[in-house]
Structure 1
Amino acid sequence: MRIGVFLVAAGFPGRQPGEVLRDTVDAVVAAEEAGFDDAWIAEHHFMSYGVCPSAATLAGVALGRTARIRVGTAVSVLSTRHPVDLAEQAAILDQVSGGRFSLGVGRGGPWVDLEVFGTGLARFERGFRESLDLLCEALSRDTLSASGEFFDFRQVPMVPAARLRPVVACTSPATVRIAAERGLPMLLGMHVGDREKAAMLRDYGALVAGPLSPPGHVAAAVGYVADTTEQAVREMRKAMPRWLEPGLAGYVPVDGRARPVRDIGEYVDFLCGTHPVGSPDLCVTRIERTAEVTGLRHLILMVEGAGDRARTLENIRRLGAEVLPRLSGRARRVRRARGGTASG
């Protein structure tokens, strides 16, 4: 199994965005030291739920502070970006980091971002396929041209060129179909449980063109360890609503449509009851249960649930020391990542 960290750059009350961004980079460094395989940074605009408006930029900073760990975006919002511009940034990070950069992209939502950046609802509602196809071409070819509804330009060289395959955030059957038709791996969110993830993977397998091969899907989950499960759940129930209540309210629709509302207490209980939140034993059990139920072999753990820098770094270190080495097939890899030797 591959296990990474998922960093939302969560804007908990009382924390300044610059402080959160610096702490996010420090968390990537801590994840490398703890033996995690990768770190993925989220992107949000104009809200406290996540205070990083450019995941690619912050990934670049984190890559410069690390030597081994892969760093990716989870995700760069494609509906508000020019795909070629994003491909150029990804190529820079890929080349300079020695191939340690991973690009995750998503459709985003019908939020005010579309108004601010001028792409509009059309790019969100019907432009994602064209944007994704152009991005994939830009990440796989030395020259590029376009002739479509949203992008139309003469042939240009891609400098620097890259050979990257993006991961696609999937939260709906329509996006699962888009990813499957292109053979692109999915990124599945922490807002759904194992059975829902398994169903999406089955749907993908039924849709994918040609022989099915392991595409490298990734799934997000909350990861939080404490001495006991009761302590971990108590800390999450105390901290997470302070972030989620104002954070989720920051999703402002661009066109006056009703904004989805979720019961925060029920959502926190779902996260704590579904994901590896608890004692080291429980965290191991739930990660391995997810792998068994879904077939997934790559999980990324949202580790910032306490909203406190020191506790987040402690959480990363404890997960690395008390959980990762106990997962099937990971003990040797964790020792190697930390510079130790493998035996047996």
Structure 2
Amino acid sequence: MKFGIFMSPYHIPGKSPSVSLAHDLDIIEHMDRLGYDEAWIGEHHSGGFEIVSAPDLLIAAAAQRTSDIRFGTGVTSVPYHHPLVAAGRITLLDNITRGRFIFGAGPGALVTDAHMMGIEPNNQRRMMEEGLDAISRLIKGETVDMETDWFTLQDARLQVLPYKGREVEIAVASVRSPSGVKLAGRYGFGLLSIAATDPNGGFSFVGETWRLMEERAKESGQSVSRDNWRVMAPIHIAETKEQAYEDVRHGMVPMAKFGSTGPFAAEGMDIEQVLAATTHEEMVDNLNTSGAGVVGTPEMAIELVSRLEKQSGGFGTLLLAGSDWANQAATKKSLELFAQYVIPEFQGTSAPLLSSWDRLYSGRKAFGAEFRAAQDKAIADDAAERTTLAGAVPTS
């Protein structure tokens, strides 16, 4: 299993956007040093919390500060871009990152974004399918002629192809509806399951996701791999559960308010009434007990990832949901603890060390006796040698 982060990124309104962006880059650099595999950056144009309007620009900046971590757009809102322009930016970014780029595609999450562009929300999924079809062909080097009610391509081709002639990996976002899963299966693309831990349908849908992927792929003559399936989970950990609860006091309420405006809002529930009647501890307890996420310890994170792995039947990459729950220092500490204690459990790197230590410690008496016996023999051998040399008769 690989690990990364899905950064919208979120920042509580009222902060300096330039400082917030610097924090985002700092987090990505930190994760690169810790050995994380991927960082996904979102595109949003309204709402106040998600301030990156051009994820490819932030990725280009981050690529110059890192060496190993791969980058994905999480996601590019396809209906907002002419396919030729989008495809050109994809291949350019793939060259800038030297092949470390993944193109993540979605219809656009915020209704307020679509409203400002005069796009009818009910048309966004259709527009995404049309745009993605054109983009995927263009980045393969095809010449495309295509006309829809929102773009025209005439003898369209790219002049810059992907890095070293490789194929750019493409992944499609899926929240609650099966449309993203079916689209990914039809083209053989990867999948981003954004709502995998959502107790209101998201977690149960994870159990059906791969069956739908394989069915649609088979119908279209495509093949799909679980290695290209990314699953997202909100996780913040500290050395103690109490410390983790204190960490998220920083941003739990603002993030809950933001969550009440989107697709994860609970129906028939007013967030202001909930907050007025709920303590901070109760709010975090509810998050943990519902399975929606983890605020706690590395052991709790391991349990959540294990549940997702079992429910899904297996996936390629676990993406931590980048949020503004905690301040910068606590967020970096959480990522460090996750890399130190959670990731090894799923990559098998801690087991040999523990086995080696267990063998040494459980046999400490025998190993100690052998060591001392060897020392005693070396001392005795040295004494005997010196005695022999002292008693030797010099020859002339």
TM-score w.r.t. the length of structure 2 is 0.74
What residue in structure 2 maps to residue 195 of structure 1?
Answer: 204
1:169 to 168, 173, 181: 173
Q: Tell me if the contact between 1:109 and 1:124 (Cα under 8 Å) persists in the aligned partners.
A: no
Q: Which moved more, 1:91-100 or 1:106-115?
A: 106-115
Which residue of 298, 301, 308 maps to 2:320? 301
Matched residue, 1:74 = 74
Residue correspondences, number: 326
Determine which structure has greater relative contact order: mean sequence separation of CA pairs < 8 Å that are 6+ residues apart, divided by chain length. Answer: 1
Per-residue Cα deviation, 1:149-192 (whole angstroms, up to 9, x for no partner):
43323213302113313110012122322222112121111452
User: Contact 2:3–2:36 (CA<8 Å) still a contact in 1?
Assistant: yes
1:155 maps to: 155
Q: How many Å apart are 1:246 and its aligned residue? A: 4.5
Partner of 2:16: 16
In the other structure, the counterpart of 1:223 is 235
1:52-201 matched pairs, under 5 angstroms: 52-109=52-109, 111-121=111-121, 123-124=123-124, 126-162=126-162, 163-171=167-175, 172-190=177-195, 192=198, 193-201=202-210
> Is 1:287 aligned to residue 299 of structure 2?
no
The match for 1:243 is 255
Shift of 1:285: 2.4
Q: Give the Å deviation of 1:100.
A: 0.6
- Larger deviation, residues 55-64 vs 200-209: 200-209
- 1:262 and 1:42 mapped to 2: Cα distance? 28
2:341 alignment partner in structure 1 = 322
1:43 aligns with 2:47: no
Higher helix share: 2
Conservation of the 8 A alpha-carbon contact between 2:213 and 2:224: no
What residue in structure 2 maps to residue 341 of structure 1? none
One-letter code aligned to 2:96: V
Change (3 A) 1:9 1:175: closer
Worse-superposed segment, 88-97 or 151-160: 151-160
* Partners of 1:246 and 1:177 in 2: CA distance: 29
Instruction: Compare 300-309 and 90-99 and name the one that shifted more.
Output: 300-309
The 1:160–1:50 alpha-carbon spacing in structure 2 relative to 1, beyond 3 Å, is same
Deviates more, 1:204-213 or 1:300-309: 204-213
CA distance 1:195–1:201, change in 2 (3 Å): same
Greater radius of gyration (CA): 2
**CA offsets, 1:10-56, max 9 Å, x none?**
12144222221111111100000111111111222112231111111
Equivalent position amino acid for 1:219 in 2:
V
Distance 2:46 2:99 in 1: 31
More divergent stretch after superposition (2-11 vs 203-212): 203-212
User: Structure 2: any 5+ residue segments left out of the alignment?
Assistant: 275-281, 352-396
Farther-moved stretch of structure 1 (202-211 vs 180-189): 202-211
**TM-score, structure 1 as length reference:** 0.84
Q: Which moved more, 1:262-271 or 1:67-76?
A: 262-271
Aligned to 1:301, the other structure's residue is in SS state: strand
- Whole-Å separation in 1 of the counterparts to 2:305 and 2:347: 10
- In 2, the alpha carbon distance for the partners of 1:247 and 1:16 equals 22
Name the counterpart of 2:214.
205
Whole-Å Cα distance in 2 between the matches of residues 247 and 170 of structure 1? 17
Stretch of structure 1 that moved more, 187-196 or 74-83: 187-196
Is the CA contact (8 Å cut-off) linking 1:5 and 1:40 kept in structure 2?
yes
Contact 2:235 2:321 in 1 (8 A): yes
- Structure 1 unaligned segments of length 5 or more: list them: 253-258, 333-344
CA contact (8 A) 1:43 1:77 kept: yes
2:105–2:171 contact (8 Å) kept in structure 1: yes
Percent identity of equivalent pairs: 25
Quote the Cα distance in structure 1 between the aligned partners of 2:8 and 2:269. 19
Q: Secondary structure at the match of 2:49?
A: coil
Query: Relative to 1, partners in 2 of residues 1:247 and 1:212: Cα closer, same or farther, differing over 3 Å?
Result: closer
Alpha carbons of 1:261 and 1:236: their partners in 2 closer, same or farther (altered >3 Å)?
Answer: farther
Contact residue 172 and residue 191 of structure 2 kept, 8 A? yes
